[in-house]
């Protein structure tokens, strides 16, 4: 059986190799900071396996995460000069290879799709080939490796260092934003353990007038948006707001439909995700990847849609869920 942990080790190894490349890149003014940051992430990917299966203590990993925060947060990372060929050269290459260039790029989704649908059902010796529950993630990994093989063959590129350098340049341009989503997951779980949801619930119950259904819906939906904006992640906001308002008020007190309240609550959170820089993986990382000057460009493009959708969600919940 191919386990998701093998795939995480592969990514850890990629981080470590790229960190070694960074350490030797003299065009990067902060090359040792960058190398330590990405190298440490790589090591954490390996160590995490032990934390997940409980064979290693979680505290050292937590300490390493704090070091990552310091390295990324205080600007110890930088980027080198990417060595991409000039535009004319790339245009010439595009003319030479033509649509064959799309083949490797399309290999990723096609293989990912096949893994998630067909390979998921394949068993060898009574064991599934892919670890159950991780098929889509593993599909992405298998797809990326297959695409690499296809790409190197089609382009007749023999040096493995070429794609690694190119990928490292993209990693450097994303910088610390890459690990923010993982840190937000940390924050969400701490908020939950510390009882932030119960506190917000006590406050809302004190403020909310009895039996005002529409106002309660408004508080739940807008609360999901606000908490998501603050925490950058609807998954983190969901337990807080549901424990605070969704369950006690909308479901128990006002007898709302359970799936409607919860599903729409989560979707309201997604409206918040669209407009917050804290949701780095959806908003800041694309801006960095697309080399935008305005890192809030994607948020500005999404804001009107998010606002309109919030109104739709509130309307659906208020009109059809009770």
Partner 1 sequence: MIVLLGVLVVILGFATRRNPLLVVGAAGIVTGLLGKMSPQEVLAAFGNSFASSRSVTVFVITLPVIGLLERYGLQEQARNLIGRLGALTTGRFLALYLLIRQLTASVGLTSIGGPAQSVRPLIAPMAEAAAESRAGGPLPKRVREKIRSHASGADTIGMFFGEDCFIAIGSILLITGFVNSTYHQHLEPLSLALWAIPSAICAFLIHGARLLHLDRVLERELAVVAAENELAAHTARRPEDLK
Interaction residues for partner 1, span 6-45 (CB under 8 A): 7-8, 10-11, 14-15, 44-45
**Can you point out the beta strands (E) in the chain?**
123-124, 127-128
Interaction residues for partner 1, span 46-85 (CB under 8 A): 47-49, 51-52, 57-66, 68-69, 72-75, 84-85
Q: Residue 192 Cβ, how far from partner 1 at the closest point, in Å? A: 9
- Using the minimum distance from each CB to partner 1, give the nearer residue, 112 or 245: 112
In this structure, what DSSP letter does residue 2 have?
B
Interaction residues for partner 1, span 227-246 (CB under 8 A): 230-232, 234-235, 238-239, 242-243
Instruction: Decide if residue 153 touches partner 1 (CB under 8 A).
Output: no
Q: Residue 47 Cβ, how far from partner 1 at the closest point, in Å? A: 8
* Side-chain half-sphere exposure of 70, counting CA atoms within 13 A: 8
Instruction: Decide if residue 318 touches partner 1 (CB under 8 A).
Output: no
Interaction residues for partner 1, span 173-212 (CB under 8 A): 176-191, 193-196, 199-200
User: What does residue 290 show for φ and ψ, rounded to 5 degrees?
Assistant: -90, 5
* Side-chain half-sphere exposure of 75, counting CA atoms within 13 A: 1
The whole-angstrom separation of Cα 125 and Cα 135 is 18
Q: Which of 22, 171, 245, 249 binds partner 1 (CB under 8 A)?
A: 171
The whole-angstrom separation of Cα 230 and Cα 237 is 9
Is 148 buried (19+), middle (13-18) or exposed (0-12) by CB count in 10 A? middle
> Would you say 310 and 221 are in contact if contact means Cβ atoms under 8 Å apart?
yes
- Using the minimum distance from each CB to partner 1, give the nearer residue, 216 or 251: 251
Instruction: Decide if residue 253 touches partner 1 (CB under 8 A).
Output: no
Interaction residues for partner 1, span 283-312 (CB under 8 A): 283, 285-287, 289-290, 292-294, 297-298, 300-302, 304-305, 308-309, 312
Instruction: Decide if residue 4 touches partner 1 (CB under 8 A).
Output: yes
- Using the minimum distance from each CB to partner 1, give the nearer residue, 177 or 216: 177
Instruction: Decide if residue 155 touches partner 1 (CB under 8 A).
Output: yes
Q: Residue 78 Cβ, how far from partner 1 at the closest point, in Å? A: 14
What contacts 201, CB < 8 A, 6 or more positions away? 243, 244, 245, 248
Angle at 63 between CA 62 and CA 67, to 5 degrees: 115
Which residues does residue 2 pair with via DSSP β-bridges, in sequence order? 130
Q: Residue 125 Cβ, how far from partner 1 at the closest point, in Å? A: 25
The whole-angstrom separation of Cα 22 and Cα 19 is 5
Interaction residues for partner 1, span 117-136 (CB under 8 A): 136
């Amino acid at each position: 059986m191919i386990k998701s942990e093998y795939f995480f080790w592969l990514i850890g190894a990629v981080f470590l190799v790229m960190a070694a490349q960074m350490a030797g890149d003299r065009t990067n003014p902060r090359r040792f900071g960058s190398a330590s940051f990405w190298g440490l992430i790589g090591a954490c990917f390996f160590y995490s396996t032990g934390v997940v299966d409980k064979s290693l203590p979680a505290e050292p990993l937590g300490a390493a995460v704090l070091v990552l925060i310091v390295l990324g947060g205080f600007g110890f990372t930088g980027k080198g000069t990417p060595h991409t060929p000039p535009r004319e050269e790339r245009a010439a290459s595009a003319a030479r290879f033509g649509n064959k260039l799309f083949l490797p790029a399309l290999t990723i989704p096609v293989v990912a799709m096949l893994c998630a649908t067909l390979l998921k059902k394949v068993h060898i010796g009574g064991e599934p080939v892919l670890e159950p529950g991780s098929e889509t993630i593993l599909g992405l990994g298998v797809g990326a490796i297959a695409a690499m093989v296809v790409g190197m063959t089609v382009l007749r590129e023999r040096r493995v260092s070429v794609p690694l350098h190119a990928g490292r340049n993209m990693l450097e341009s994303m910088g610390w934003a890459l690990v923010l989503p993982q840190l937000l997951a940390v924050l969400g779980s701490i908020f939950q353990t510390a009882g932030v949801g119960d506190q917000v619930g006590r406050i809302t119950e004190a403020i909310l007038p009895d039996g005002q259904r529409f106002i309660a819906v408004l508080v739940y939906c807008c609360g999901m948006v606000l908490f998501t904006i603050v925490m950058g992640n609807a998954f983190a906001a969901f337990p807080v707001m549901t424990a605070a308002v969704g369950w006690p008020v909308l479901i128990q007190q006002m007898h709302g439909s359970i799936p409607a309240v919860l599903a729409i609550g989560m979707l309201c959170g997604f409206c918040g995700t669209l407009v917050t820089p804290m949701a780095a993986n959806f908003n800041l990382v694309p801006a960095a990847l697309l080399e935008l000057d305005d890192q809030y460009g994607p948020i500005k493009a999404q804001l009107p849609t998010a606002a309109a959708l919030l109104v739709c969600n509130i309307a659906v919940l208020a009109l059809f869920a009770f």
